[in-house]
Amino acid sequence: QVQLKESGPGLVKPSETLSLTCTVSGGSSISSAYYWGWIRQPPGKGLECIGSIYFSGSTFYNPSLKSRVTISIDMSKNQFSLKLSSVTAADTAVYYCARSEAAGSPYFGSWGHGMLVTVAS
Amino acid sequence: SYVLTQPPSVSVAPGQTARITCGGNNFGSKSVHWYQQKPGQAPVLVVYDDNDRPSGIPERFSGSNSGNTATLTISRVEAGDEADYYCQVWDSSSDLPWVFGGGTKLTVL
């Protein structure tokens, strides 16, 4: 059973860069044919997909965040990462990492527990 | 970009059937997936590809997709089913193909 766990600072100052890492375990290799994604949820609001990366390194980004987002993959550590630059209070949210099937109509079948990141000075 | 529309809330008495809808254009050509999210927890996939259930999801959860509307049906609703429910599709024409609906709060009366 694949397990995903988010890690990183829970508090980021405005204008700085939010950096999170998702560690994949439980027998699933990040080099397998899946998409690895980041989804966030502002307090009291719905789910927003930030972007995803395929095991080959190709990426999809939310157009509204594209200029500030980088998702990368580290196969040696079985991890993938999110960087979101120039953050504001509007980026305060619970950030989830998740694994998506790649074939057919992809969906996120496995999720991390989520991590609250607060943007404040 | 592709838009999915869900009602903000649905209420149902225990033991009854809850139906949560998700609307979008040309739905017939897309597979719809459904997630359950309880307070303070990560979303959990409850239905994928319109009407398939992951292992461990009760048979009380089922889905359908016809025309421009997909429906998540929860039979014999229990108090533990109270949660937010999100639909999602893969829209290959979108820059970010995973598209989520706005979510529906299911209240068990």
CA–CA separation, A107 and A91 (whole Å): 24
**H-helix or E-strand containing B36?**
strand B32-37
How high is the pLDDT of residue B23? 95
Contact B97 A63 (CB under 8 A): no
For the stretch B31-66, what's the b/e string if a residue is b when 16 or more beta carbons lie within 10 angstroms of its beta carbon? bbbbbbbeeeebbbbbbbebbebeeebeebbbbebe
> Which chain B residue lies closest to A95 (C-alpha atoms)?
B42
> Which chain B residue lies closest to A100 (C-alpha atoms)?
B98
Q: What is the DSSP string of chain A?
A: --EEEEES-SEE-TTS-EEEEEEEESS--TTSS-EEEEEEE-TTS--EEEEEEETTS-EEE-TTTTTTEEEEEETTTTEEEEEE-S--GGG-EEEEEEEE--SSS--EEEE---EEEEE--
How far A97 CA lies from chain B's nearest CA (Å)?
A: 10
Token reading at A71: 């998702």
How far B16 CA lies from chain A's nearest CA (Å)?
A: 26
How high is the pLDDT of residue A104? 87
Low pLDDT (below 70) residues in chain A: none
Which of A52, A105, A111 has the CB atom closest to B42's CB atom? A111
> Which chain A residue lies closest to B90 (C-alpha atoms)?
A105
C-alpha dist (Å) from residue B58 to A3, A101, B73 = 22, 22, 12
Token reading at A39: 């989804």
CA–CA separation, B102 and B48 (whole Å): 18
How far A80 CA lies from chain B's nearest CA (Å)?
A: 18
How high is the pLDDT of residue B107? 98
Using alpha carbons, select from A33, A45, A47, A2 the residue that is nearest to residue A106: A33
Instruction: With H, G, I as helix, E, B as strand and everything else as coil, classify residue B15.
Output: coil
Contact B90 A107 (CB under 8 A): yes
CA–CA separation, A37 and B4 (whole Å): 20
Low pLDDT (below 50) residues in chain B: none
> Which chain B residue lies closest to A59 (C-alpha atoms)?
B96
Residues in A closer than 8 angstroms to B41, CB to CB, are 113
How far A88 CA lies from chain B's nearest CA (Å)?
A: 22
Contact B42 A114 (CB under 8 A): yes
Contact B43 A52 (CB under 8 A): no
Please provide the size of chain A in residues. 121
